Amino acid sequence: MAQRRSATKTEARERARRAAAESMAREQRLLEMGEKFFVAQGEAEQIMETAEQRIAEIRAKAEQEAAQARQAQAGVVVAMKGERVAVSDIAQRLELSAAAVRALLKDNKGDDPATPKNAGSADVTASADSELERETVDA
C-alpha cells in the first residue's frame, strides 16, 4: 500500500502542478489581453484629442474667414450708401431688411477701405439718420 499512496500522492502533485501551470498561463494571457486593451484605449483617446484639436483649428479658421466675408458684405453696403442709395433701396437690392442694412452701416462706420474718400463717417451716419426719418415718415 505504500506504493499506492506514493503513486497517488505523486499523481495528485502532478495534477496540481498542471492545474497551476494552466492557471498561470491563463493569467498571463489575461494580463496580455488587458495590456492590449489599455494600449488601444489610450490610442483611441489620443486620436479623439487630435481630432478635437483639428476641429477647433478648422472652426477658428472658418469663423475668421466668415468674419472677413461679413466685413466684405458690410463694405458693399457702405459703398452703396456712399453712392447715396437709400437704405430701403439697398435693402431691396440685397434682399435684406432695412434694419439689417442700418446695422451693417452702424457696425462698419468708417472701418472699410471701400468707403469712398469723399464720404466721411459722419456723412454716412447723417445720411442713415435722415434716411431712417424719411422711412419712418413714409410708413
Q: Give 21-76 pLDDT, tens digit per residue.
A: 999 999 999 999 999 999 999 999 999 999 999 999 999 999 999 999 999 999 99
pTM listed for this prediction: 0.52
Query: Does 126 score more than 60 pLDDT?
Result: no
Residue 3: pLDDT band with limits 50, 70, 90: low
- DSSP string of the chain? -HHHHHHHHHHHHHHHHHHHHHHHHHHHHHHHHHHHHHHHHHHHHHHHHHHHHHHHHHHHHHHHHHHHHHHHHHHHHHHHHHTT--HHHHHHHHT--HHHHHHHHHHTTTT-TTS-TT--HHHHHHHHHHHHHHHHHH-
